[in-house]
Amino acid sequence: MKIALDPYMHRHLSLPDIARKTADLGYRHIELSPRADFLDWWVMPRADRERIDEFKRAMRDHGVELATLQPMYRWSSPFEDERQAAIRYWKKAIEISAELGCTTMISEFGRGASPERAPTHIPGLNTPELCEAAFWRSMDELVPIFEREKITLSVEPHPEDWVEDFNQALDIVRMIGSPQVKISYIAPHTFYYGEDMAAMLRRAAPFLAHVRVADTFNHTASSGLRYIVNPPGAKVRVHQHLDIGQGEINWDIFFATLAETGFDGILSSCVFAWEERADDSSRFMLSEIQRYLAKHPRR
């Protein structure tokens, strides 16, 4: 199993310093989420030859590896120009991942078109059905490339994606039917995914490649009044990425189920909430992950 750090709270550091910081914090693997100087949100990668080589040298010098790379492009946009741009950016990102020796790429099913082109007050432009149809067209183009490059794509349903329910997302991954396409389980999204965390993890086991660890509160609790949003009925998706123990995830059930199912993929610390204590949070998360893994050893 690879335990990785998502260094988003350290994103002000250069890429070589990210490699150094990751090692200093006790991790040996990096989960590189979007950043402006490498794979930025929605646009062509900014990772030129100099940056790639510099990052590779720094990882080698500090004894860390790139476990995952996360592009975020509009591959589910019903607007064909946006979707085709996303495919072009994905192809470049796959080249970069291969160059870095990173064999797992992670992403989200997506929210469809850019909000400027499909505003929420104009119905019918960004329906789940149209987004899904666009996603399938993108899979037709990209899956053969992932298979050729022997790179795993692990996708996650995200709050506000065209698919939020984990079991529905898993059905889509199963239907893609490629050994290179897997699913991610994001612990802080648990209460959007469904009611039974253990059952979801068990069902996903043959397809589960990647898990993100952070805590969150159950927004469905207290008769749906855990969060009060004004005006009532506003369309929002509130969730947190907190340190273990600061929310309501049952971590014993989580890690015991991973152990029961023999999970041996990538497990990443993905806390966003504490930039003012990013080092302490990252060290604490590694210690807690290791403690729970020792408490619930893989069968």
- For residue 198, the SS3 value is helix
From the list 274, 264, 244, 268, the residue with the least C-alpha distance to 22 is: 268
- Terminal-to-terminal C-alpha distance of the chain: 13
147: pLDDT confidence band, cut at 50, 70 and 90?
A: very high
Whether pLDDT at 46 is above 70: yes
Average pLDDT value for residue range 73-85: 97
Q: Higher confidence at residue 160 or residue 201? A: 201
Residues 6+ apart with CB under 8 A from 84: none
67: pLDDT confidence band, cut at 50, 70 and 90?
A: very high
Average pLDDT value for residue range 85-108: 98
Paired with 65 in beta bridges are 29
Q: Strand ranges (DSSP E) for 135-191? A: 152-156, 181-186
232: pLDDT confidence band, cut at 50, 70 and 90?
A: confident
Question: Contact 82/49 with Cβ under 8 angstroms?
Answer: no
Q: Is the peptide bond before 179 cis (omega within 30 degrees of 0)?
A: no
Whether pLDDT at 104 is above 90: yes
| pLDDT on residue 299 | 79
From the list 169, 174, 229, 162, the residue with the least C-alpha distance to 193 is: 169
* Alpha carbon distance 238, 249 (integer Å): 15
pTM of the model: 0.95
- For residue 82, the SS3 value is helix
| Percent of the chain surpassing pLDDT 70 | 99
- For residue 273, the SS3 value is coil
Residues 6+ apart with CB under 8 A from 197: 190, 249, 250, 253, 254, 257
Average pLDDT value for residue range 155-168: 94
From the list 92, 75, 91, the residue with the least C-alpha distance to 137 is: 75
| pLDDT on residue 222 | 85
| pLDDT on residue 233 | 76
* Alpha carbon distance 277, 9 (integer Å): 9
Mean pLDDT of the chain: 95
From the list 87, 56, 92, 61, the residue with the least C-alpha distance to 74 is: 87
122: pLDDT confidence band, cut at 50, 70 and 90?
A: low
| pLDDT on residue 181 | 98
| pLDDT on residue 198 | 98
From the list 184, 89, 193, the residue with the least C-alpha distance to 142 is: 89
| pLDDT on residue 126 | 86
